[in-house]
Chains A and B, each alone.
Chain A
Amino acid sequence: MAEIVLKGLGHSYLSDPKSDADYALKPVDLVWADGKTYALLGPSGCGKTTMLNIISGLLTPSDGQLFFDGKDMTHAGTAKRNIAQVFQFPVIYTTKTVRQNLAFPLECRNWDRSKIKDRVAHIADLLDLDDILNEPARSLSADQKQLISLGRGLVRDDVSAVLLDEPLTVIDPQMKFGLRRRLREINRATGITMILVTHDQSEAMSFADEVVVMKDGRVQQAGPPEQLFARPQNEFVGYFIGSPPLNLFSAEQRNADLHCPSLDISVEVPADARDRSTKFGVRPEHIKMSKDLADNSPHATVQAVENLGIERVFTLRTSVDETLKVKSRHHKTVSPGDKVGLFVDDKDLLIFSDGTLVCH
């Protein structure tokens, strides 16, 4: 258990990186607080695995430093860091039984036999592996193998952090949900920091105290899920977090006013948006529809309705031919072809200037 601090930490797989583009992970300052659950979210190839491998010690960073509780660990060996890591695809020791697989990390660290036995039994119970403990690990199915990988990650109760690199991709959806919950329970019970890499934003939001969003080797934003949802720092975060993604609308600057033709709203031009390309962003959850139209209120035509069970997602086209999505629990009778009024609260309006959020 440790606070993990990245200080100007970056990595390039090339021997002499010339430009930013040569970095798989661009230098970043970041703090992983002790005991929290984190999600590292971003499209594939954005450097998530690279970051985890640097933290666990499989990779020595080309730039910057790494601290565990203030101690410089940049060049420490894997064993010394005492990190648990689970890879995307199951890695099991095929020549060992399930029990031997689970006990291996403890044996490597010369734990007491009786203590090993207790921990293995505990983890086997936690992951429902009791019945297969004595079977050879190579005979198992892919998701059982991944459970063993997970078990080997969780079997040590004194680790600095557990790094989970998309471990749930091979596991079927139903079990996934339960496992995510159990991981959180373990975190609550033991206070072990957990970092879950994923490209599934709903997984990230439901698992983590804090979400770190990455793109192209750069950390875009880090914060609690609500914050990322309500105030995405840039268009990418807005687009990546939330389902359906953030609606973006064109904006026109008229003297001191910034006008949104689609929603017929005007706000004062924020200082740092003047004379730049600006856009409005509104969450699909924050747009209200009404069936009775006032003559001059903004409106749109329904193009499609998608029923998600409790909620519906409406695809609309506005009077200036912009497409938007609205997510709502109401309006069961609205169907394609209908004309609806739109209403957005001022406080839910986000303004992006050159792609970056500005305050207003």
Chain B
Amino acid sequence: MTRTYNTIKYLFLLAWSIFVVFPFLWALSTSFKDANAVTSGARYLPWVEFEPSLQGWQSLFASGSRGINIITPFFNSATVTLLASVISLVLGTLAAYGLSRYKFKLGFIKNADITFFFISQRIMPPIVLAIPFFLMLKEIRALDTIAGLVIVYIALLLPIAVWVMIDFFASIPKELDEMAMIDGCTPIGAFFRVVLPNSLAGLVVAGMFCLIFGWNDFFFAFTLTFTETQLLPVAIVSLNSSVTPWWSLSAFALISVTPLALVAIVVERFMSRGSLAGAFR
């Protein structure tokens, strides 16, 4: 019985792993192909079925007309994403804590309405926001700058941070803060000294979401920048020509997914050590 169960379990896991890993392998092999190898049918084994070429990779670190250079866009993307994520996380965590522990009331607007306001920012289609953002950034002369993008990304990431953290704080019994206050903390002290250390798991999850959404955004990076400040997802678009350069796109995909994958692996290690398992009682 358990044996059959285990067999089925592992078969399923195997199928799932293939499903997940295959696109990466595909991208990896494609990134070393040239135009011939890509277009002339399915080929898998380098050296045997096709001659590996570094053309795809080289085109990403080239100068002049032979391709693009993604080093600057890479660091632009990293800067914007990290800054926006950290700021969103800080502001979002504070906002979420306030919303989860105190009752706010402004006329008919109560906690639930404020929370919904945050979340509604993500329900709106991005296109609705593009023109207002463009005009506002233009007004403060922040179009095509890192700072301008950071501001816009904070607006995009803050709802995510608030959303995740409200849920998380709701799972921390309010007796924990109350106890800290009885023990002599101020309300702010209770948050920083007791609640926050207990919220690491939530912060990691919220942080991951912020990084992922920030890093992968194309739309705003595309509409709010021109030439000075290019982010990674925009840079790659300029590679496109009449012949789709699958090899370059594959190499690019691998490069752009690597930072997130690394963060995920580190976090996963950290989590499995149990230091994040939030057992409160």
Chain A residues close to B by CB (< 8 Å): 56-58, 77-79, 82-85, 87, 89-91, 93-95, 104-105, 108-109, 138, 142, 145, 149, 152
Contacts and interface: CB of A to CB of B under 8 A. Distances in A.
B189 interface: yes
Given A89-B175, A91-B173, A95-B198, A56 B279 contact: no
A138 B274 CA distance: 12
Contact of B182 (A85, A90, A94, A95): A85
A58 B181 contact: yes
A58 B101 CA distance: 12
Contacts of B193: 108
Residue among A78, A104, A142 facing the most chain B CB atoms (10 A cut-off): A78
A338 B173 CA distance: 57
Contacts of A145: 281
Given A138-B279, A145-B281, A91 B185 contact: no
A138 B193 CA distance: 17
Top 3 nearest A-B pairs (CB, nearest first) are A108-B184, A105-B183, A78-B181
Interface in B173-229: 173, 175-176, 178-186, 189, 193-194, 197-198
B278 interface: yes
Contacts of B280: 94
Interface string B163-180: 000000000010110111
Question: Which of B173, B176, B181, B184 counts the most A-chain CB atoms under 10 A from its CB?
Answer: B184
B186 A77 contact: yes
Contact of A108 (B176, B185, B278, B279): B185
A89 B281 CA distance: 8
B179 A109 contact: no
A83 B182 contact: yes
A90 B180 CA distance: 13
21 contacts: A58-B178, A58-B181, A77-B186, A78-B184, A79-B181, A82-B184, A84-B182, A87-B175, A89-B281, A91-B175, A91-B176, A91-B178, A93-B176, A93-B180, A93-B194, A93-B197, A94-B279, A104-B183, A105-B182, A108-B183, A149-B179
Interface residues of B, number: 21
Contacts of B184: 78-79, 82, 105, 108-109
Nearest to B199: A95
A58 B181 CA distance: 8
B179 A91 contact: yes
Contacts of A93: 176, 180, 194, 197-198
Interface in B41-65: none
B279 A87 contact: no
A92 to B, nearest CB: 8
A249 to B, nearest CB: 45
A58 B281 contact: no
Given A58-B178, A87-B179, A94 B185 contact: no
Nearest to A104: B183
Contact of B197 (A77, A87, A95): A95
A270 B24 CA distance: 94
Contacts of A108: 180, 183-185, 189, 193
Nearest to A108: B184
A77 B178 CA distance: 12
Interface string B147-164: 000000000000000000
A79 B186 contact: yes
Contacts of A83: 182
B262 to A, nearest CB: 26
Contacts of A91: 173, 175-176, 178-179
B182 A58 contact: yes
Contacts of B176: 91, 93
Contacts of A78: 181-182, 184
A145 to B, nearest CB: 7
A105 B183 CA distance: 4
Contacts of A104: 180, 183
Nearest to A53: B178
A228 B176 CA distance: 36
User: For A108, A145, A149, which residue has the most chain B Cβ atoms within 10 angstroms?
Assistant: A108
B165 to A, nearest CB: 17
Given A79-B185, A138-B279, 17 more contacts: A58-B178, A78-B182, A78-B184, A83-B182, A85-B182, A87-B178, A91-B178, A93-B198, A94-B198, A104-B180, A105-B183, A105-B184, A108-B183, A142-B281, A145-B281, A149-B179, A152-B179
Nearest to A85: B182
Nearest to A106: B184
A59 to B, nearest CB: 10
Given A95-B197, A95-B198, A90 B281 contact: yes
A22 B194 CA distance: 34
A87 B178 CA distance: 10
A152 B175 contact: no
Which of B178, B183, B186, B280 neighbours the largest number of chain A CB atoms within 10 Å of its CB? Answer: B183
Nearest to A84: B182
Nearest to B173: A91
A109 B180 CA distance: 12
A145 B189 CA distance: 23
Contacts of B183: 104-105, 108, 152
A85 B179 CA distance: 8
B278 A94 contact: yes
A226 B278 CA distance: 47
B180 to A, nearest CB: 8
B3 to A, nearest CB: 35
Contact of A56 (B173, B182, B186, B198): B182
Contacts of B182: 56, 58, 78, 83-85, 105
